[in-house]
Structure 1
Amino acid sequence: IGLTLVILPLFFFLGLTKGLKITSTNQPMVEKAQGEKVTLPCTFTVSQEDLGPLDVEWVLIPTDNQKKEQTIIMYSVDRIYNDYYEAMNGRVQFTNPDPRSGDGSIDILNLKSADTGTYQCRVKKAPGVESQKIQLTVLVKPARTKCYIEGSQETGRDLTLKCVSQEGSPLLSYNWRKLTGTEELPATSLLNKDTGELSLKNVSEEYSGTYSCVAANRIGTDDCFVVLNVTPRKYLLYSSFCKIRNFCNRKKQEDVPPPKSRTSTARSYIGSNRSSLGSMSPSNMEGYAKTPYNQVPSEDFERSPGQNPNFPPSKVAAPNLNRMGAVPVMIPAQSKDGSIV
């Protein structure tokens, strides 16, 4: 008998819970774009056995089990409470202002990426309790897409056109196209649709033009463009300039006349010295007695203050005089009594 008393209330309770039933189609996943409105369905029916007050509550289940559920909106005792969740203040409402009609669905307005999560609808009318979960994913279309060039824009170089969207839900895909000229991508190009990189090998001036990148996902697209200007390599221009400059320098050198020969001047100078020495008397030979015949003043010779002014300073070195055909001259010496030795 005791066992029967325990089991009967359990069957009685289970029987009553069948009176309340959620009738909306079970949608485990819903996807919407950022900025749009989404309706999370939750319709239900009650029976005569459900005599308690009606409560409809929506909660956001956290991904971290350590955190508590967050109540989004609630209908209880003929009143709506929609200020539980600050992040959705003014953006969440019951689809039907009177959930007693059997419609406990809610609308979330101006969706944000942070609204992504698992939502649960709970309907209570004692003794009945029913619930249903929905996974909401807020998709963000590509936005703030930027294009830029990485690498030197010189002929013969390798460079990469890059494209990246700073916003956008995965999976994003990228596609490049050329807007000018042949409007076809170069034959050496290699496109990675996942990273948005367009690699160009051994570029030439024909690669120049305007390129556009389109970033896309399931809910939208965004684009950007970049101008590629391939120019000749700098070192080639510099090399050509150097060749022209060297040619001009050689031309100038060829136009300069050769220096005049100083052989005649040297010879006449030596001849004049010979005449002067031949006419010298013993009295004016002082100062030359100790000068060996094989020494001739060098180019750096400068006349000292005490030197005989009759002897002009020489600017011709001895080796140069020999090459010009000069003949060494013996300088006679004078004794103390004035006679020539």
Structure 2
Amino acid sequence: MGGTSPYLPIVVLLLLLFQCWPSTCVTVTSNRHKVEVREFSDAELSCTFRTERDQNPRIEWKKRGKDVSFVYFDGHFRGPFEGRATIDGATVTLQRVTQDDAGEYRCEISAPFDSVSLGETNVTLKVLVPPHTPSCQIPSTAVTGSVVRLQCHDHQSIPPATYSWFKDNQPISLPRFSNATYVLKTDTGLLEFKSVSKEDSGRYSCLASNGVGSPKMCEAKNMTIEDVNVTAVVVAVLVIGLIVAICSCGGVLLHRNGFFSRHRGRSFWITESHEASHISSQALHRPEDISNVNYIPPPQEDFKHTQSFML
């Protein structure tokens, strides 16, 4: 068997050129492969094609995700796109897009009568969301010298928002030195005071922006820094010490009275037996009171056989 001819690739190339000449083989392109539009505006998904012989190719649009779903098939829009999309040639316009419409789309052109019968191109749609009013967590009071964290976040903006903090309507600048008294993170919205002082008291607010639409600011809130109440601390310590002393004295008294003794039950029985014997001896001198005396039998000890003997 002879080897493969070195001219075979050239022959294949010539055959392809011959098939597409003088016409052009089916081609599918897009003038915008990445489309970014604001939420609730219209998005144009461009798709242009050129065929060799087939004048009526089949046009299909699909959306890729966990599963591939039809957008345009058999001359009609499908699913959520029905009634809110138009097509011109192969270019599709989606009206009032939302986050559910974001994703990757594929335009497919099928020309059965062409030598190359299938062509496709992809278009990615990104739906931009302007900032919403951010959620701000600002403590109303704090104690001097403590660590205080203020949080600001907008969960809905696309792309993610960046954050700026204001005190008394004046912007708080980023700290320039590592030994600054506070930390400010514009990407997460964190404003942290390492050790607050009374000078940090004021009215704080946060601004979220992402370049899409107008920035949004949360409602300003007052934060008051107070000194430690020494009097309250001293009183609390004295009260706790008094409670501990009372508990200790009570425990000592109970222990002295035998409340925690292991033989408390036996001592109680001995005391009761002694009193019963005393009452019985008195009753012997007064027969009329014998019937009123409650008899308490002595405890019976187990008889232990210690020695055997014979009579």
Tell me which interval the TM-score lies in, with the shorter structure as reference length: 0.5 to 0.7
Q: CA–CA distance in 2 between the matches of 1:141 and 1:202?
A: 35
**Kept after mapping to 2: 8 A contact 1:116/1:137:** yes
Partner of 1:308: none
**Kept after mapping to 2: 8 A contact 1:143/1:222:** yes
Query: What is the DSSP-based 3-state SS (H/G/I as helix, E as strand, rest coil) of the residue aligned with 2:146?
Result: coil
Aligned 1:1-341 pairs, distance under 5 A: 18-22=24-28, 24-25=30-31, 27-46=32-51, 49-62=52-65, 64=66, 67=67, 69-74=68-73, 76=74, 80-82=75-77, 84=78, 86-94=79-87, 96=88, 99=89, 104-125=90-111, 126-127=113-114, 128-149=117-138, 153-180=142-169, 184=172, 188-220=181-213, 221-233=215-227, 235-236=229-230, 238=232
**Kept after mapping to 2: 8 A contact 1:145/1:215:** yes
Query: What amino acid does structure 2 have at the position aligned with 1:20?
Result: V
**Kept after mapping to 2: 8 A contact 1:57/1:121:** yes
**Kept after mapping to 2: 8 A contact 1:73/1:93:** no
Name the TM-score, length of structure 2 as normaliser.
Answer: 0.58
**Kept after mapping to 2: 8 A contact 1:58/1:121:** yes
Query: What is the DSSP-based 3-state SS (H/G/I as helix, E as strand, rest coil) of the residue aligned with 1:87?
Result: helix
Q: CA–CA distance in 2 between the matches of 1:93 and 1:140?
A: 23
**Kept after mapping to 2: 8 A contact 1:207/1:228:** no
Partner of 1:316: none
Query: What amino acid does structure 1 have at the position aligned with 2:49?
Result: F
Q: Which runs of 5+ in 1 are unaligned?
A: 243-341
1:6-26: CA deviations, max 9, x gaps? x7987765558834344642x
Deviates more, 1:183-192 or 1:151-160: 183-192
Query: What is the DSSP-based 3-state SS (H/G/I as helix, E as strand, rest coil) of the residue aligned with 2:143?
Result: coil
**Kept after mapping to 1: 8 A contact 2:162/2:210:** yes
Q: 1:199 to 1:151 in 2, by over 3 A?
A: farther
Query: What is the DSSP-based 3-state SS (H/G/I as helix, E as strand, rest coil) of the residue aligned with 2:142?
Result: coil
1:19-78: CA deviations, max 9, x gaps? 4344642x33222222221111112344xx52353322111123x4xx3x211014x5xx
Q: CA–CA distance in 1 between the matches of 2:72 and 2:108?
A: 11
Q: CA–CA distance in 2 between the matches of 1:15 and 1:171?
A: 51
**Kept after mapping to 1: 8 A contact 2:203/2:222:** yes
Q: CA–CA distance in 1 between the matches of 2:30 and 2:171?
A: 52
1:184-207: CA deviations, max 9, x gaps? 569622101121100113323332
Query: What amino acid does structure 2 have at the position aligned with 1:165?
Result: D
Q: 1:88 to 1:241 in 2, by over 3 A?
A: same
Q: CA–CA distance in 2 between the matches of 1:228 and 1:239?
A: 26
**Kept after mapping to 1: 8 A contact 2:39/2:96:** yes
Q: 1:44 to 1:92 in 2, by over 3 A?
A: same
Q: Percent identity?
A: 26
Query: What amino acid does structure 2 have at the position aligned with 1:81?
Result: H
**Kept after mapping to 1: 8 A contact 2:38/2:128:** yes
Query: What is the DSSP-based 3-state SS (H/G/I as helix, E as strand, rest coil) of the residue aligned with 1:56?
Result: strand
Query: What amino acid does structure 1 have at the position aligned with 2:138?
Result: I
Query: What amino acid does structure 2 have at the position aligned with 1:18?
Result: T
Q: 1:107 to 1:183 in 2, by over 3 A?
A: closer
Name the TM-score, length of structure 1 as normaliser.
Answer: 0.54
Q: CA–CA distance in 2 between the matches of 1:109 and 1:237?
A: 68
Q: 1:151 to 1:225 in 2, by over 3 A?
A: closer
Query: What is the DSSP-based 3-state SS (H/G/I as helix, E as strand, rest coil) of the residue aligned with 1:57?
Result: strand
Q: CA–CA distance in 2 between the matches of 1:148 and 1:214?
A: 13
